Structure 1
Amino acid sequence: MTGVEGATLLEPGDGSLGPLLRVTDDRLPPGAGYGVHAHRAVDVVAVVLAGSVTHRWGGGAVIGTGDVGLLRAGTGLEHDEVAGPDGARVLQSHLRPAGAVAAPAHEVLRAPRGWVDLGRPDARLWLGEDGGDVPDGVVLRPGGGVVVVWWVDPARPDWAG
């Protein structure tokens, strides 16, 4: 692999999944990145399935296997994510922002399990292992025994017009 390889797992395009716009399964070889790019008015939830990525924006942050990176692009930012020495496999979910556009922010949640608090009423993320009690929702099984579930409210918030 010489560059980022990605597969779109979900992209309804019709708003049927409320705030959930797209989910991709991205694989990055060691040292590869997406390249500096801009986001505005979108939340990006990155679940690192293997390896690590360094988020290059603000103070920067290393996000390792099992961690979740929560980027709120808000009014806009330019950033990059670069794979660590073992490369990375990242499940990236793009969501309509939870509220009116605010300042950009980034947070790393270290190895959460079960329901993950994303600080928004219209989308919840669940992370766990296959074979247990998996909740209802948009269920993704990217492999390796990992299960990712999105619960989303399909209604459009008043502020979104």
Structure 2
Amino acid sequence: MKTYLHRSEDRGHVQAGWLNTYHSFSFGNWYDPRFMGVSALRVINDDTVAPHNGFGTHPHDNMEILTCVLSGTITHKDSMGNEGHIRAGEWQLMSAGTGVRHSEINDQDTPVHLLQIWIQPNIKNAAPTYQQIKCDPREHPNEWHIIAGPNDNAPMHIRQNTEVKTAHLKQNSRLAVKSNHGLNYVHIISGKVSIHNEILSTGDALAFIDLSEIIALEDTQMIWFDLPKV
């Protein structure tokens, strides 16, 4: 695979009462055999949660679950004893391991916009863990900020040979992308860029192997998954 372009309009769209969501990959009642994930990356859900609603207590196991709050505040509670808020510009990584139950509720008066990301672990049945950091790339634009990775240089540890980075790129700025693990997957949260002569806008994504450069055609926020090559 040299490049793989995933357009926003190919995502699944589900409007279910309090939840307005776009699924990059097959999830829940939305299934498309063309979109089952890329390498260890299994889920990118772009969720908007209405006020005073949310995901009630439910279980997970053997999945690395990363949450990025883009606007608003979500309240987290889990069976490990963690309870608190995840605010805009903050990231949560819950390694479900042998099993954990949790809820994510918007108990505010305004909607919450977040990304929920699932990455399949390379270590099964480990003890569940919870990590949370603040990293708003708008505060330090035009550079990559590592969110999670398998090594000690990452602020959050993920059980996979994968790095997750984010950036806010100002219009006409450039950033290099070169995988340390085999496969690049860049998802555009908002804005417009050029990669490999492809124009990507909000919700689009591109997988590629070769070294490349991202050129911002307008102010852009994005997330980069450096994944194991398959």
Determine which of 169, 177, 180 is the counterpart of 1:130: 169
Identity of aligned residues (%): 21
Mapped partners of 1:107, 1:88: distance in 2:
20
SS of residue matched to 2:18: coil
SS of residue matched to 2:94: strand
Q: Which amino acid aligns with 2:169?
A: D
Query: Which residue in the other structure is 2:88 paired with?
Result: 65
Q: Which amino acid aligns with 1:9?
A: S
Larger Cα-atom Rg: 2
Is the contact between residue 54 and residue 63 of structure 1 (CA under 8 Å) also seen in structure 2?
A: yes
Mapped partners of 2:106, 2:177: distance in 1:
31
Higher relative contact order (CA 8 A, sep 6+): 1
Note the C-alpha offset of 1:135.
2.7
Deviations for 1:72-102, whole angstroms, at most 9, x for unmatched residues? Answer: 1111111110124122111111011241321
Query: Where does structure 1 differ by over 3 angstroms across 4 or more consecutive aligned residues?
Result: none
Note the C-alpha offset of 1:128.
1.1
Q: How many residues are aligned here?
A: 153
Deviations for 1:139-159, whole angstroms, at most 9, x for unmatched residues? Answer: 11122632111111134xxxx
Q: Which sections of structure 2, spanning at least 5 residues, go unmatched?
A: 1-14, 27-34, 138-144, 148-153, 179-183, 192-219
Query: Which residue in the other structure is 1:139 paired with?
Result: 186
**Residues 134 and 109 of structure 1: is their aligned pair in 2 closer, same or farther, counting only changes over 3 Å?**
farther
Question: What's the TM-score once normalised by structure 2's chain length?
Answer: 0.60
SS of residue matched to 2:116: strand
Q: Which sections of structure 1, spanning at least 5 residues, go unmatched?
A: 156-161
Deviations for 1:5-30, whole angstroms, at most 9, x for unmatched residues? Answer: 211024542x6x22111111011012
SS of residue matched to 2:71: strand
